[in-house]
Amino acid sequence: MKQFLAGCAVAATISGLFQATIMANAQDTQGKQVIARAPFVVVGDQGEVLMDLTVGDNGPVLTIHGPDNERTVQLGSTGRGMAIKVGSSTRFSALESQDASTLVTSVFDGNIVLLKSAAQEQHLLVGGEEKPVVDLGVKPGTNAALRVAAPNGTIVASVGSNNANADAGAVLVGSDSGMGGAAMLVDGAGAGLVAVKIGGQDVVRLEPNVASSGGKVTVANTGGDVVFNAGLKTDGDGAACVYSLKDGQKCF
């Protein structure tokens, strides 16, 4: 929004606003067309600035001033499309229409809510201090997803459909350090999977036993070495195996 207030192709709207003001104070132009040449300023009876019209590189900008000459309403062009902003410099709402998208933004002392709609993106962002906190929507190249961040900006939870795996669902949670986490998703074979991670490595997995179409639990160390697994065998019986550096493999 910093590029906001460049100018605006809204001559008809602005002309109508200023014609009404000027006609009300023009005693000798009754019934005649009144033309005002920009840039100009409208002041109150105490000399305070009420509104002004300036012309920038991209066209005219209409500004309505509030107390202490603060800009409270601005209507103009960003150079990419039309925009209107209402409020103070740190607390405002803005609506912008561009050639390829529309944006609605609300800002309150650094806390931001942004809604964006475009051909390949429908996107809602809630943030603060320039870091996303909640991110919901569809972005180019991705499916719909909800992402939640810790105060430091690290994503700690996400829910969505994985376009890299036939649009199957996935739920991921983690820590603000990015070291731990857990996942619930569908694997490439279409089977459900629950995993607990340490440092990106699966240390516990709950999944189907492909050979028997039954359940299987696997426990591993952070190096990926399996130390225990248990599941359903092809004959319908259960089995459990323990792997020890000292005693080798023992199955029951």
Q: Per-residue pLDDT tens for 20-58?
A: 444 444 445 556 777 878 889 999 998 899 999 988 888
User: Residue 175: is its pLDDT beyond 80?
Assistant: yes
- Report the pLDDT value the prediction gives residue 20, as an integer from 0 to 100: 45
User: Residue 168: is its pLDDT beyond 80?
Assistant: yes
- Report the pLDDT value the prediction gives residue 30, as an integer from 0 to 100: 59
Whole-model pTM over 0.75: no
The alpha-carbon radius of gyration of the chain (Å, integer) is 31
Task: Tell which wins on pLDDT, 220 or 89.
Answer: 220
Does a structural domain hold residue 150? Answer: no
- Report the pLDDT value the prediction gives residue 129, as an integer from 0 to 100: 60
> What is the rounded average pLDDT of the residues 216-229?
93
Does a structural domain hold residue 212? Answer: no
Dist CA 147 CA 159 (whole Å): 7
Structure tokens at 62: 């209409």
> What is the rounded average pLDDT of the residues 103-125?
91
Domain enclosing residue 57, as ranges: 1-90
**23 contacts 15 by C-beta, under 8 angstroms:** no
Give how far Cα 82 sits from Cα of 10, 77, 157, 191, Å: 9, 5, 36, 49
Does a structural domain hold residue 7? Answer: yes
Does a structural domain hold residue 44? Answer: yes
Task: Tell which wins on pLDDT, 54 or 211.
Answer: 54
User: Residue 72: is its pLDDT beyond 50?
Assistant: yes
Does a structural domain hold residue 83? Answer: yes
Give how far Cα 5 sits from Cα of 36, 57, 116, Å: 21, 10, 19
| Dihedral over alpha carbons 155, 160, 165, 168 (to 10 degrees) | 150
**75 contacts 13 by C-beta, under 8 angstroms:** yes
User: Residue 5: is its pLDDT beyond 50?
Assistant: no
Give how far Cα 112 sits from Cα of 72, 106, 189, 191, 233, Å: 18, 6, 41, 39, 54
Does a structural domain hold residue 228? Answer: no
Strand partners for 131? 128
Does a structural domain hold residue 183? Answer: no
Strand partners for 25? none
Considering its fold, how many domains does the chain have in total? 1
Does a structural domain hold residue 29? Answer: yes
Dist CA 7 CA 232 (whole Å): 70
Question: What is the 3 state secondary structure string of 81-138?
Answer: EEEEEEECCCEEEEEEEECCEEEEEEEECCEEEEEEEECCEEEEEEEECCEEEEEEEE
